[in-house]
Amino acid sequence: MLTKRIIPCLDVKEGRVVKGVQFVELRDAGDPVELAAFYDQEGADELVFLDISASHEGRETMVEVVEQVAAKLAIPFTVGGGINTIEDMKRLLRAGADKVSLNTAALLNPTLIQAGSDYFGSQCIVVAIDAKYDEELGSWRVYTHGGRRETEWEVVDWAKEAVRLGAGEILLTSMDSDGEKKGFNLALTKAVSSAVGVPVIASGGAGEAAHFLDAFEEGAADAALAASIFHYKETSVREVKSFLKEKGVLVR
């Protein structure tokens, strides 16, 4: 059985880490380079860096910041935001990223997933999915542009298509749960985890250590990602791992 991963996430806007609730009301959470160094020492298994306004503003991820963050890390590092071409991927991987995360660009141009997977290997390609429940659909719909635009895709269908095209991992964020600290969306996580054969990272809603246990046991996630509870020191990666070990979950 694979060990479960705990992943802090740096949502970066204009060079600063920010965090909001349901993708709005962003507040400052610190310097990305300092936070990266802190999480590396704290025992995080990986780090995700998302330039959250890149696709919306139509610009590239800040390569310089990525280089500075990568220099502080000995753990795998995923970067997303404004990645639209193979050249963008090359630039970020050269800057120190281990994986690239595609969201909006993958939906606008699905062949980018396949091209990236063919060129770098599927282990390099993470497809990030922002999901919001749709009453009419009776399921979750996929959103793009930092949660600003609704698409025609149903989440499980898009996850399966992304994996078919070569995604090696799915980063699944519940927009409904994001920043609420009431727990991960377990029904959403389970629906996607049971539909695809690649690791699924649960994201959106972590408020305490027990929520990570739920994501692994009920949601069948392979990894769980959190931001605000770590940034604002409400709990720590060490505390979460200690709790999970006590509950018999395999963690590093």
- Residue 60's pLDDT is 58
Segment 199-249, tens digit of pLDDT: 999 999 999 999 999 999 999 999 999 988 998 899 999 999 999 999 999
- Residue 65's pLDDT is 87
- Amino acid at position 233, single letter: K
SS3 110: coil
pTM of the predicted structure, to 2 decimals: 0.93
Whether residue 178 is predicted with pLDDT greater than 80 in this model: the reply is yes
Pairing label, strands 5-13, 223-226 = parallel
SS3 115: helix
Given the residues 31, 45, 51, 130, select the one marked as catalytic: 130
Domain with 139 in it: what CATH number? 3.20.20.70
157 is known as an active-site residue: no
176 is known as an active-site residue: no
Residue 68, in any domain of the structure: yes
- Residue 61's pLDDT is 61
Number of domains in the chain: 1
| Of 75, 70, 130, nearest in space to 102 by CA | 130
Residue 29, in any domain of the structure: yes
Residue 92, in any domain of the structure: yes
Residue 252, in any domain of the structure: no
Residue 150, in any domain of the structure: yes
- Residue 12's pLDDT is 87
Pairing label, strands 24-30, 16-21 = antiparallel
Segment 67-111, tens digit of pLDDT: 999 999 999 999 998 899 999 999 999 999 999 999 999 999 999
As a whole number, mean pLDDT of residues 158-165 equals 98
Whether residue 150 is predicted with pLDDT greater than 70 in this model: the reply is yes
Residue 251, in any domain of the structure: no
Given the residues 11, 51, 178, 222, select the one marked as catalytic: 11
Residue 15, in any domain of the structure: yes
- Amino acid at position 57, single letter: E
Domain of residue 145, residue span: 5-246
Residue 159, in any domain of the structure: yes
Alpha helices by DSSP H, 124-182? 155-165
- Residue 11's pLDDT is 87
